[in-house]
Amino acid sequence: MFDQIAGSTKLKLSGKAKVILAFTSFLAVMLGNSLSHIAAIVIFSVIILYSGVKPRLYLKMLTIPLLFIIPGIIVISIINGEERVFWIIKKEGLETAFNTFLRSFSSITVLYFLITTTTLPEIFSSLRKITPSFVLEIATLMYRAIQILVDEIFRIKRAQEARLGYINFKRGLNSFSFLINVLLIKSFKRAEKFSIAMENRCYTGKIPHMDRNLSFREIIIILLINTVIILPRWFDVQIA
């Protein structure tokens, strides 16, 4: 789960700052030109690696969207324009393809920045001002319930594996249906315990959310990164 990685991030920014940074950078990338995109890719890749994501994992993560992007840009470079550069590939198409590639790739790095450094609870908390409280309350409680459930799944699965529950397909199917069964029963029990726990802790319908204001340092960082991304567009500096 990405939240495990995000939970141990080395990046010292509040959840709110990270959400705002990702959101504004996303807009900046949409508005920017190709140089903006390259700037965004570099900046966010550096931040992601700095925050403790292993380079190997990051590369792997980047190859996933490539599978979707590459066929797309091949099609674009074939169908667009008149002037041929090579075989059936056209000049104009190549340019558009290159730009499309950069644009999608840079938005993906921004997205990856958010999911590798920011946990869902942090994202929920930072949405406090603009989301109805009951939605956040349900989301937060559900998140906790999922944490417990995932824990439970791993525990049962490990116990089954230790007793050779997945040794062949048939056994595996058997063990899997058993797992689902146990899980269902457990989640009923869980729900009961959960409500006792909430009662025990004086639940009156509130979930704490840490909604701190942005610090001066954080505002500067957000402005700086966005400026760097949008600047090439402003002065119309281009590479292609």
Partner 1 sequence: MFRLHDVHYYYDDGTHALKGISIEINKKRTVIVGNNGAGKTTLLMHLNGLLKPKKGYVEYRGKKIRYDKKSLIELRKEVSLVFQNPDDQIVAPTVEQDVAFGLVNIGIEDFEERVKEALEIVGLKGYEKRLCSSLSFGEKKKVAIAGVLVMKPRVMLLDEPTSGLDPKSKKEFTEILEGIDSMLIITTHDMDFAHEFANEIIVMNNGRIVEKGLPEVVFLRDLEKYGLRSPVVVEIYKSLGLNEKLPRKIEDLIKIIKQQRA
Binding site for partner 1 (CB under 8 A): 3-4, 7-8, 119-122, 140-141, 143-144, 147-148, 150-151, 193-194, 196-210
Task: Return the number of the residue (68 or 203) whose C-beta is nearest partner 1.
Answer: 203
Whole-number minimum distance, CB 101 to partner 1, in Å?
Answer: 35
Nearest-approach distance from CB 75 to partner 1, in angstroms:
42
Q: Which of 25, 47, 46, 49 is nearest to 37 (CA)?
A: 25
Task: Please report the DSSP string for 157-182 in residue order.
Answer: HHHHHHTTTTSSHHHHHHHHHHHHHH
CB of 119 to partner 1, least distance (A): 6
Question: Which amino acid does the sequence have at 90?
Answer: K
Shortest CB 10 distance to partner 1, Å:
12
Give the C-alpha separation, 126 to 216, whole Å.
17
Distances (CA, A) of 140 to 9, 125, 226: 20, 9, 30
Q: Which residue number, 1 or 64, has a Cβ lying nearer to partner 1?
A: 1
Cβ density class 62-80: b for 16+ within 10 Å, e for less: eeebeeebeeebeebbeeb
- DSSP 3-state of 34: helix
Cα 180 from chain centre: 28
Q: How far, in Å, CA of 5 to CA of 207, rounded?
A: 24
CB closer to partner 1 out of 171 and 193 = 193
Q: In the complex with partner 1, which residue's Cβ is closer, 161 or 211?
A: 211
- Find how far residue 28's CA is from the centre of its chain: 18
> In degrees rounded to 5, what are phi and psi of residue 20?
-65, -45
Q: How far is the CB of 148 from partner 1 (least distance, A)?
A: 6
Minimum CB distance to partner 1, residue 29 (Å): 28
Pairing of strands 84-86, 89-90: antiparallel
Least separation in angstroms between residue 211's CB and partner 1 is 10
